[in-house]
Amino acid sequence: MQILNFVSNLAMPLVILIIVTYGMIEKNKVFDDFLEGAKEGMGIVFSILPTLVGLFIAIGALRSSGILDIIIRLVMPFLDIIHFPSEIMPLAMLRPISGSGSIAVATDIMKTYGVDTTIGKIASTIMGSTETTLYTIAIYTSSVKIKKTRFVLIACLAADVIGMLVSVGICRIMS
């Protein structure tokens, strides 16, 4: 375990050293390249900032409005048919929208049901097998100025739903 700890502590400085060494061998101005990359990064941050602000406001409104609870009550009969635990529904609904919101919901699920329960394992698996779809699409498309995403949203949400259903199935089989 000490060797693993040592290697993980050494990994980042080693990567930086390799990059700097490679840049010096190639006779690049490493620090100037770093500064140029940082300038580009700041430009991207400023270009996607309005999208981020809009998403954060929408997520806050969604969470505080109580609409998630209403939707969960409406889909409860269908969830019972497919044996999808209703305790996971807040996470399943929030995960495609917000990473930080879904982490908060997953943490709450872990505190309520425990990490070693089937519900806790399902929550963990969903967190690892799905993506914050709306956030990712908004950031990627706005950073490259794409206006028409066509079927990207449908395909990504379908992948999230499949990831969640498979997570439930696998966790039920493994428990």
Residues 124-158: tens digit of each pLDDT: 999 999 988 888 888 888 778 787 878 888 999 99
Q: What are phi and psi of 116, to 5 degrees?
A: -95, 5
Residue 166 reports pLDDT greater than 90: yes
Please state whether the predicted TM-score (pTM) of the whole model is above 0.95: no
Other beta carbons within 10 Å of 143: 14
Residue 1 reports pLDDT greater than 80: no
Q: Which amino acid is at 86?
A: S
H or E stretch covering 72: helix 67-82
Exposed e or buried b per residue across 24-42, where buried means at least 16 C-beta atoms within 10 angstroms of its C-beta: eeeeeeeeeeeeeeeeeee
- Can you give the pLDDT at residue 73? 87
